[in-house]
Amino acid sequence: MQLSIVIVNYNVKHFLMQCLQSVQKAIAGMEAEVFVVDNASSDDSVEMLQEKFPWVNLIANTENVGFSCANNQAIKLAKGEFILLLNPDTLVEEDTFVKCIDFMKQTPDAGALGVKMINGNGEFLPESKRALPIPSVAFYKIFGLSKLFPRSKKFGSYHLTYLDNDKTQSVEVLSGAFMFIRKKVLDEIGLLDETFFMYGEDIDLSYRIIKAGYKNYYLPDPRIIHYKGESTKKGSINYVVVFYKAMQIFAKKHFTNKKSFLLTWILNLAIWFRASLAIGKRVAASLLLPLLDISFIYGGMLLLAFYWQTQVLEYRDSHFPDYYFFLVIPCYIAVWIVSVAINKGYKKPYSTFKTNRGIIFGTIVILLIYALLPETIRFSRAVTIFGAAWTAIAMNGIRYLLHKFKLKGYRYADSTKRRVLIIGDLPETERVAIIAQIGNQKPEAIYTTADAGSSAIKNLVKENRVNELILCSKDISIKNIISHFIELKTCSVSYKIAPEGEQAVIGSRNIQYPVVGTVLKEHR
């Protein structure tokens, strides 16, 4: 047996299905076996595997035993000369395994290898190659120096960003998303350390391979797509804690007491720093728009009140009391802000309808209260009404500008019409066009074409103002799909893949299901 492929799955059924389709093409003509270890998924992954992939060796756990333990379950049964640890949210090129086996046979000192990984937007994933997280490397990574100085051999050491991404390199750490290992090396150094429940096990295994006298290699060819983080929320505080706790386990296991203490101290500091940063970013993001609203509305209301006082009230020998400016106007604004919040005007993505509905309701509340007040403390109704108009202008204007400047997270709901380009042959493009009509936001237009080169696709995208590109894997090889992803990443389109024979269109963190009806515009 040449190759044993091990995939650990947890609630990513559609990504797993697409992954196995690519694996099936890549093992054609080889002596290979595929294991899928399901860690008690609740999304019918096991049923899907039994129905669509009966040739897969399925291990269905009744509880989530963790990444390391699940991999070890399959490795113990594996018969291949080489073992591949593969994430379920990946896609491999058709010649991936042949190239990996050839390299391993030609490179006797290679204990394991990893390949170039790109995400669902065609961007290179830096974790394709990494260094050991010694204290200095970890410090540069945690506190952002690696991002500030990516070309520095010193500061850019964590992801080896100073190395050429398109050259074969000997590296220290490989990613567990794709780790191609000699079976005899695993027999020598042992299996994955089950102390690591999730994260850190790939660093530990990479280091043990090096300590045994072998090398880990990074290969720029072949390439894979890795829909990074589909089964984890990498921006969450929980991820920060779990990841750095795993690093602490690694430090205690492999480093001397002094170095282990230093790295553990840095990692504990990192947990507090990154968690505080995550909380701060969330708080700032949630408060930014309300604070902008308050500032602009208050400024406008002050100008309106001063204008009304000088141009109207003074001619009536009257004026606003001082507390009107620092108490009454802020109360008006508070009512509008709370009303907009209650009407979900601050919920992302933003809705003009919900925002304006909140302003209208808030204005009605203010006018009702105004009508119930004693005559002596009733102030100008006109300023209130003009203030409501200014509030609508300010709130909608702020949201429009934030959307126009494409500030991340501040976008209108359904503000961009979907214009979809499907690449493939008939009748597959017709089938996929039906699936592409998803939810409440149906495409404004759908264009289909036979498989074309990247330059031709670029022209179609530009001419038709396409913002969503769907590639049919039935008609286009994964190798060409990856090439399209990379070459078209500057086109500002959303990339999706239509797996052969499946009723879904899959993109990074996005899966579409079909609704009825569509109109096709065919471009040949």
Determine the pLDDT at residue 237. Answer: 59
What secondary structure does DSSP assign to 388-450, as a single string? HHHHHHHHHHHHHHHHHTT-TT--BTT-S--EEEEES-TTHHHHHHHHT--TT---SEEEEES
User: Cα–Cα–Cα angle for 172, 173, 177, nearest 5°?
Assistant: 155
Determine the pLDDT at residue 521. Answer: 43
| DSSP for residue 231 | T
Cα separation of the two ends of the chain: 45
Determine the pLDDT at residue 240. Answer: 63
Determine the pLDDT at residue 76. Answer: 95
Reported pTM: 0.74
Residue 447 pairs in a beta bridge with 421, 521
Site of tokens 């790295």 = 263
Which pLDDT tens digits describe the chain residue by residue (524 residues)? Answer: 999 999 999 998 989 999 999 999 999 989 999 999 999 999 899 999 999 999 999 999 999 998 889 999 999 999 999 999 999 999 999 999 999 999 999 999 999 999 999 998 888 999 899 888 777 777 777 777 778 887 887 887 778 888 889 999 999 999 999 999 999 999 999 998 888 777 778 888 999 999 999 999 999 999 999 987 544 555 555 666 666 667 777 777 767 666 667 767 776 776 677 667 767 777 887 888 999 999 999 999 999 999 998 888 877 778 888 889 999 999 999 999 999 999 999 988 788 899 999 999 999 999 998 888 887 677 788 889 999 999 999 999 999 888 878 776 676 665 567 888 888 888 888 888 888 776 556 777 787 777 777 788 888 888 888 888 899 999 999 999 999 888 888 787 888 899 988 888 888 756 655 443 333 344 43
* Tokens read off for 429: 């493009």
